[in-house]
Structure 1
Amino acid sequence: MSSLIRDIKERVSIPGLVLVVLFISVIWGNSLVAGEGSGSLSAGVMEWVQGFLQSLGLPFAWVTNFLIRKAAHFTEYFILALLSSHAFDPKRSAGSEGIVAACVLCVLVSSIDETIQLFVPGRCGQVTDVLIDCSGAFIATFIRSAAVRWYRRREYGRSA
């Protein structure tokens, strides 16, 4: 039993896993907000972004509530994938196990997230949101994997 625990500790960062669980709680907590509250939050973000762009003299009408909501999905799962890929690969080995674990976790969390929304007044779960979530997760794991490989090559080159 102790060898199993030691093996898990070598492959998984416990503090990283705690961060992952906390971030999942934030994601699912946002899904529990009723449609009216969620809509007003994204409308507030939209107005802020539009005002910021306008103050810079840039076009701002293209920033819509729809765009803000979909960007939030992408960003949440981008961050979740970065956190989870680090938690499952704390030694930066760039092995496929950590990447696969992070991706599977993101797909499961996203699917549960959209299912939660089916039971919240004014919200609806959407398959397209799962696809957007998974896109954010895929891009994050790709970037992290590329960065780890670059870092390892750079470090290997120094020691040679």
Structure 2
Amino acid sequence: MKKYIILSVCALVALIVLSFIWGNSAQTGQSSGALSAKVQEIINDILHTVGIRGSVSHYFVRKAAHFSEYMVFSAASALAVVYLFRVFFKKTVKVSLLSALIALPMSAIVALTDEFVIQANTAGRGPRLTDVLIDLGGAATGVLLAIAAAYVFYAVRHRNANKNAAAGGETSAAGLH
């Protein structure tokens, strides 16, 4: 049952982030610029409040948004792939290879659609290949973070199972997957 919940949460997060990405891309250039300016102002206010001199640029805010959106989308997608196979195919898959082979091309399709379909047809916006590359950098980072988190989770889980087995517990290797 827990696998179904994790799969559902990961898939839901990926869909929410996808909606957020494409929803922002459908905004006019003027609306998008105004939103980025508000975010920039909030970040700079926080920096000044904690005593950090300087400020972040509008350009940095926009590019960081690209990177972080795709990082979250890709991480959630990668984990959803793993749990999809665990739930429906009863297979414990290698997190790193399969999730990367599915999540990264999926992120590339989303990024290309975002730039060259949605933004290309939105007033005051235009497609930028550099944004796609930033998106893919975020996607790769998201997959790497998902892999790292999964390996840490499995290492801790197996270590605890081995401790239980050594102490006379009845946890089997099959029960870990």
Give yes or no for TM over 0.5. yes
TM-superposed deviation, 1:30: 0.5
Residue type matched to 1:36 in 2? Q
Instruction: Name 2:73's counterpart in structure 1.
Output: 80
1:89 Cα deviation after fit: 0.9
Query: Where does structure 2 lack aligned partners over 5 or more consecutive residues?
Result: 87-91, 163-177
User: TM (normalized to structure 2)?
Assistant: 0.76
Match of 1:41 among 22, 31, 35: 35
Q: Which residue of 2 aligns with 1:6?
A: none
CA–CA distance in 1 between the matches of 2:70 and 2:159? 33
C-alpha distance in structure 2 between counterparts of 1:23 and 1:83, whole Å: 9
Match of 1:159 in 2: 161
Q: Does 1:51 align with 2:53?
A: no
Are the counterparts in 2 of residues 110 and 130 from structure 1 also a CA contact under 8 Å? Answer: yes
**Residues 64-98 of structure 1 deviation map (CA, whole Å, 9 limit, x = unaligned):** 10000000001100110121111111257425222
Query: In structure 2, what is the equivalent of residue 99 of structure 1?
Result: 100
For residue 88 of structure 1, give the secondary structure of its aligned residue in structure 2: helix
Q: Flag structure 1 segments of 5+ consecutive residues without an equivalent.
A: 1-8
Structure 1 stretch 95-104 or stretch 137-146: which is displaced more?
95-104
Shift of 1:104: 1.2
Deviation at 1:54, TM superposition (A): 1.5
The answer to which of 17-26 and 99-108 deviates more is: 17-26
Cα deviation 1:104-153 (Å, max 9, x = unaligned) = 11111011001111111111111111111111111111121122122212
